[in-house]
Amino acid sequence: MGLDGIFLRAVALELKAIENFKVQKIIQPSSYEVVISFRGFGESKSLLISASASAPKIHFTNNSFSGCDKVFPFGIILKNRLRSAKLVKVYQEGLDRIIYLEFGSVDEIGQLRHFVLSVELFSRYSNIILYNKSSLKIEDAVKRVNIDSFTTRPVLPKLSFIKLASQEKLDISKEDGLLIFRKIFEFGEKSLSEAFLGCLQGVSKFVANVLGSKFEGVPVCSLNENARAFVFDVILRLKSMLQHGSFDFVAVLKEGKLKDFTFFDVSKFCSSFEVKKFGSASEVLDFFYEERAFVERQSKREDSIVKYLKREITKAVAKLKAREEDLVASNERKLYKKYGDLLSANMYRVKKGQKYIEVEDFYNNCAPLRLTLNPKYDASWNVQNYYKQYKKSKVAIEKLELLISQVKKDLNFLKSELGFVLRCKNEEDLNEIVAELNYEGFSFNFKKSKNVCTSKKASLEECSFLKFKSTDGFYFYCGKNNKQNEVLTLKKAKKNDIWLHVSNMTGSHVVIFSNGKEVPESSLYQAALAAAYYSEARENSNVAVWYTLIKNVGKPKGMPIGMVTFKNCSTIVVAQDIDFLKSLQVYG
């Protein structure tokens, strides 16, 4: 995590802007979070402090927490001790991941008291502790730590506050650069990243890895003169940043995904990283944790939809199996007409009370056949009973064939939706998939964003297709869900455009817009790459793709959304090449 001691130094410098501001309001929205609102010199600031194991942080925030205040013991103590208090001082000792906020307040009898809020940001050991500066007695903490044989530092009200011991590493802001340089090269067989991490106070593992990435895997004792000059230059740059407060606050991305944040431009050290720059430490912290929380929420939503779809697919498969077994049984009951005919021809031989009769099967070369009878009734009743069972089987077969057809449609639809969920990129795509499920009668409770279309009749403007341009200059679009597939194929495409779809699997519809021109083989192949990749076959190396003209594609009444029929298709086999396909993608 990028919230190391050096980044916290930048945060502490930023927080100095609210020294001598008064506490206006204190909110505790959750067990491990506190929001303190300050006002002074004509402006207001809100400070968010979190001791959550997954998101320990302290920074200014513009988010509103009104209506989020909950009753927690720590929040009550904080409000009682810091009501109308003034923030006297913000400081950090060394480059530890601890920020101290010192407050001055006047009690009921007019005496000035000083309290210190110790914000300790150590992942699962993070804590927010309020203690009296003069007596060093703890008032309370967000996380109380009981006295036991495993705890060397209990944190409970009325106990003495014990400061955490500093790491036995060099504080780059205070120590001489040459001394630090020598210490790094005492790590001998260790890599440069390990030397930075083991030597420098306030440097996270991520920062150490970035700084040492240029010489990854090379022991420090084997570094040449150029490498040693690089190390000394890094030391001087870090010292300069800390002395002048000249930080570059960036969120770090890799392959488009948010990875971390830090206080310098990591892309200058490692080309595989991209950066998004911010004007302050608070801005990057606010962005990073909100974005990460959003990604986690979306991931949970995806998981819940995937579980629902897999459950529905399992149910559909079981239903299909049961219906097919019923159909086999019903087909077997077609023989009842034959049995009725044979019994009718042998009624004169039936005696009352008989349980069965042996007859000659004139449908099968007069082979002997035993027919079961109900001994309570006469021969005429038994004949009519066989004919009645035959009529029932005819009706059952018709109904079962309809049911099996519907279950197969539902199964194909659910499998296609599962594929789209696994390939979806954002919340809007998820919302559209859920809208499709609800429209087709699959009730899934999912909180949708505003302005999400739940109608099957979607306009072209509502669909954000994946767009590509072939090397020959032909555009081809790809649907991201069943609604988009239907709109792309049946509304946007013209009759002489080319439609593509993976063979015998679920996947996206792809349409090449020919504009009345002949589409070359190369463009057809490139569009087939999209049809192969955005399908159930994306993990296969070689994929067969169907293609035909749009005029050969139709949608019979009653088919689920996105499902079509087609004729006169040809097949092309492509080898997956995602890098080449992405190079063809166009945006906007």
At residue 118's C-alpha, the angle toward residues 114 and 124, to 5°, is 160
pTM of the predicted model, to two decimals?
0.67
3-state secondary structure of 387: helix
Whole-angstrom distance, CA of residue 279 vs CA of residue 292: 19
- What are the domain boundaries of the chain? 5-141, 177-288, 298-454, 463-586
Confidence of residue 23 (pLDDT cuts 50, 70, 90): very high
pLDDT of residue 66: 67
pLDDT of residue 456: 45
Whole-angstrom distance, CA of residue 494 vs CA of residue 412: 26
CB atoms under 10 Å from CB of 517, counted, come to 12
Whole-angstrom distance, CA of residue 577 vs CA of residue 568: 27
3-state secondary structure of 42: coil
Please answer whether residues 476 and 460 qualify as being in contact, where contact means their C-beta atoms are separated by less than 8 angstroms. no
For residue 308, which of 412, 452, 414, 420 has the smallest C-alpha distance? Answer: 414
Residue with the two structure tokens 């790491």: 167
Percent of the chain, pLDDT > 70?
95
For residue 551, the number of C-alpha atoms closer than 13 Å in the C-beta half-sphere is 2
Direct distance between the N- and C-terminal alpha carbons of the chain, in angstroms, rounded to an integer: 34
Please answer whether residues 291 and 257 qualify as being in contact, where contact means their C-beta atoms are separated by less than 8 angstroms. no
Confidence of residue 459 (pLDDT cuts 50, 70, 90): very low
DSSP state of 542: E
Residue 188 neighbours by CB under 8 Å, 6+ apart: 219, 220, 221
At 185-218, the pLDDT tens digits run 999 899 999 999 999 999 999 999 999 988 888 9
Please answer whether residues 12 and 96 qualify as being in contact, where contact means their C-beta atoms are separated by less than 8 angstroms. no
| Mean pLDDT across the chain | 88
Confidence of residue 417 (pLDDT cuts 50, 70, 90): confident
pLDDT of residue 117: 96
pLDDT of residue 135: 94
At 512-571, the pLDDT tens digits run 999 989 999 999 999 999 999 999 888 888 999 999 999 999 998 888 888 899 999 999
- Cα torsion through 489, 490, 494, 500, rounded to 10: 20
pLDDT of residue 457: 47
Output the six-digit token pair for 143.
């996380």
Q: What is the mean pLDDT of residues 134-153?
A: 86
pLDDT of residue 453: 41
Classified by CATH at the fold level, domain 5-141 comes out as ibrinogen binding protein from staphylococcus aureus fold (2.30.310)
Whole-angstrom distance, CA of residue 266 vs CA of residue 274: 8
CB atoms under 10 Å from CB of 426, counted, come to 11
pLDDT of residue 1: 58
Residue 447 has pLDDT above 80, yes or no: no
Beta strand 510-512 with 553-554 is: unpaired
Confidence of residue 87 (pLDDT cuts 50, 70, 90): very high
pLDDT of residue 15: 96
Please answer whether residues 415 and 408 qualify as being in contact, where contact means their C-beta atoms are separated by less than 8 angstroms. no
3-state secondary structure of 133: coil
For residue 47, which of 96, 79, 7, 11 has the smallest C-alpha distance? Answer: 11
Q: What is the mean pLDDT of residues 243-266?
A: 90
pLDDT of residue 445: 62
Please answer whether residues 25 and 37 qualify as being in contact, where contact means their C-beta atoms are separated by less than 8 angstroms. yes
CB atoms under 10 Å from CB of 384, counted, come to 14
Q: What is the mean pLDDT of residues 410-420?
A: 86
At 12-22, the pLDDT tens digits run 999 999 999 99
pLDDT of residue 299: 83
DSSP state of 280: S
Whole-angstrom distance, CA of residue 27 vs CA of residue 35: 5
Residue 289 has pLDDT above 60, yes or no: yes
